A and B are shown apart, each in its own frame.
Chain A
Amino acid sequence: MNDTDTLRTEVRTWLKKNVPSGWRAAMTGVDQDKFVLAQRAWFSKLVAAGYATPHWPEGWPGGGRSLAEQKVIFEEIARADAPRLILVFISLYHAACTLFEWGTPEQRDTYLPSILKGEIWCQGFSEPNAGSDLASLRTRAELRGDRYVVNGQKIWSTMAQYADRCLLLTRTAKDGPPQAGVTYLLLDMRSKGVTVRPISQITGDDEFCEIFLDDVEIPVENRVGKENEGWAVAQSTLASERGLTLVELSQRMRYALPLLAQAMRNNGRIEDATLRTQLGALASKVNAVCALADRYLLRRISGEERPGDASIVKLYYAQTLREFVSLGLSIGGLQGQYHAGFMRGSPQETGNWTVDFMNSYNWSIAGGSNEVQRNIIAERMLGMPREPKTWQVASER
């Protein structure tokens, strides 16, 4: 038995004892506040056991795990069908990893212990006019004495209505290429001039928000990295979870395949040859996603990651997830169209097929849309040239 086998047994045993039984039922049809309470409780259990922060460096509670060990923990969490850590995801990954790479010792000592206590962070990157083209962001920050004064608007900030702090990208210079004038700030969400407005989504849920910033003051010591050099810091934030989430999610998708079989049984379509064929083909695809995510992580462990590798995993995961939930829709038929309370904190596959279908867009749009991933694969992996940067409307020629 090697070390990861020992860890696997240990984690598996712990999860068996500690995953809240019946959490799926308990989280179905409940309001968001109840979900937030449950998430906090589950997170503190994981922190106490040392399984919430395996990716943190040596010396921090729960930290110092190798990538191989992190992979084991994620695989076991998926296997045990434990709740996903949605509420503190940005805190644990985006905020923490950015601080480990770019933060000052003071910043680390201030923020990381609070994260372990359950402080919630959100991300203030996207703007109404800066989505895939993030570098075109316009939220302005002006240095006045020892503080930045910030004005602008952010959007698609997940769980911002519960957040204590925000990772904020601002513009501090307009000259030169757009990436050059970006400054990275840490915002206390209780500051004067911060307004959070939840956005009602197509599921009726309001998981993400708009953040309005009117003359918000941020002390200069809350800047991460140098002024106008925040773009590089933001790249670390975006790369922070790098593959582990997709190892977990692809495994969860594999464990969720029986949901489709159960739906076939419940709808009296267990003998339907077309559905059976589609289920078989999908099962191979789901296994292929798992294999892709797995091999991607192994490449990272051995230092053989290729440019574009991460995009392939994300793109293929998003495509396969859409197929999974689409098959659920076909099996569900009319029954799948009737409104029913949905489950929170769950994997992407819950058996409430219409909601699952709507939520599957999280993976084809957020975190770099499928289209952005395709550009990355084509340009960085296949070496196909970029499009020219300038364009003209035909009538102006």
Chain B
Amino acid sequence: MSIETAELQVSAQQALRGLGIAATEEKSWPMVVELGWLLVSVPEELDGLGQGLQAACALYRELGASVVGAPYLPAMLAVEAVCRSDHPARAEWIGRLAGADFATASLFGPDGPTARTLSGKLRLAGVASAVASADKAAHMLVATADASLVLLVPRQNGIEIVSRPTWDETRRLFDVHFADVEIADEWILARGPAANALVRTLATHRDFALAADSVGGASALLELTVEYLKTRRQFARPLAMFQALKHRCADLKALTEAAEALLAENLESAKHCSDAEAEVLGKQAKSFACSAYFRVAEEALQLHGGIGMTSEHVCHRFLKRALLNAQLGRQNASYDLDIAVGILDGA
């Protein structure tokens, strides 16, 4: 990790400590914007900080560690899409998206609505699912199932935004329905092979982000659980003294460290390899970290006992985010299948 990234991470920890665990979107989003976090991986020539995906992941990690509600990931996907497009008004767009205009994106898929061209105009029909905080969005990044990437204004005729509450309340997801909506030319970021390549790069960004979020969540939750076991006394001793519980914590610690190591190593490797290779590295990090998070969250609740079942305790917030993270992008098993192809082809 570079010095800049390490410093960014420490400052993020301090800022988030002030907000407490599971800060809502209303409470946390203004801070994210104010601290300039949306500019962290924007290249310097576009007035960003130019610190790349690793720095963004340091922030995803800390937001995950505090299970924060701010829709940072979807906003970053929109910013990233604009940066990597060759849209003539890129710089102006980024200025808006990193400031007052919240832009969102789907956290699922690669599937989305379909596009067709009618009298020279692109028209969208179908559904984009798992679009985060869509009701608050001034803009929305939409990747169609057939190779176009557009940044549109969601408040218009023909677009219906349907709330789909999830058990995880730290993310608010929506289905966005398109009924043959005409897309203005200036909203089109890419088409054809260029759009496909861009969508894959964004998926890699999303996968690394979810991995970092999961690593942060798993580490924080494990720490919380160990602290609880040290405090809670039964049979005239702290629970942390029982080897049966210690060994489970040790296994979880090893798993969490492994997820953290894989994330860091793959992020580093992704800087020096092809997009296709980076895609696999992101999938590995995502699948591994999300299953690790799931396991830590599953065990943490058990280790907390009854108090872990209550809504006032934070355990369930981590658990629900872990469950959702494992399904975002795509399911872990589907990632694992993709990863296997590389080994099977090489053998």
Contacts and interface: CB of A to CB of B under 8 A. Distances in A.
Interface of A: 257-262, 264-265, 270, 273, 276-281, 283-285, 287-292, 294-295, 312, 315-316, 319, 371, 373-375, 377-379, 381-388
B347 A295 contact: no
Contact of B247 (A259, A276, A371): A371
Contacts of A278: 336
B336 A377 contact: no
A278 B287 CA distance: 12
Given A264-B344, A315-B254, A384-B230, A291 B339 contact: no
B215 to A, nearest CB: 11
Nearest to B262: A288
A261 B339 CA distance: 12
11 contacts: A276-B340, A277-B337, A284-B262, A289-B258, A291-B261, A291-B265, A292-B257, A374-B250, A385-B238, A385-B240, A387-B242
A290 B347 contact: no
B258 A291 contact: yes
B346 A258 contact: yes
Contact of A284 (B240, B246, B336, B346): B336
A285 to B, nearest CB: 7
* Interchain residue pairs A-B with the least CB separation, the first 6: A280-B336, A261-B347, A280-B339, A378-B246, A291-B265, A280-B340
Nearest to A289: B258
Given A261-B346, A279-B339, A291-B262, 5 more contacts: A260-B343, A281-B339, A316-B257, A316-B258, A388-B237
Contact of A316 (B254, B287, B332, B333): B254
B336 A277 contact: yes
Given A270-B344, A279-B343, A315-B254, A374 B247 contact: yes
B226 interface: yes
B128 interface: no
Contacts of B333: 277
Interface majority SS (helix, strand, loop, mixed), chain B: helix
A283 B280 CA distance: 11
Interface residues of B, number: 44
Interface string B219-263: 000000010011000000110111100110111011101110110
Contact of B339 (A284, A375, A378): A284
Interface in B132-170: none
Contacts of A283: 284, 339-340, 342-343
B241 to A, nearest CB: 5
A321 to B, nearest CB: 13
A295 B246 contact: no
B266 interface: yes
Contacts of A291: 258, 261-262, 264-266
B7 interface: no
Nearest to B247: A374
B338 interface: yes
B288 interface: yes
Nearest to B292: A288
A273 B337 contact: yes
B335 A290 contact: no
A378 B340 contact: no
Nearest to A316: B254
B229 A384 contact: yes
B103 to A, nearest CB: 32
A373 B288 CA distance: 22
B306 to A, nearest CB: 21
Contacts of A258: 343, 346-347
Nearest to B238: A385
Which residue, A257, A289, A377, has most C-beta atoms of chain B within 10 A? A377
B346 A280 contact: no
Interface in B288-325: 288, 291
A41 to B, nearest CB: 31
A277 B266 CA distance: 20
Contacts of A382: 226, 246, 249-250, 253
Nearest to B345: A261
Given A284-B336, A285-B258, A290 B265 contact: yes
A292 B263 CA distance: 10
B250 A373 contact: yes
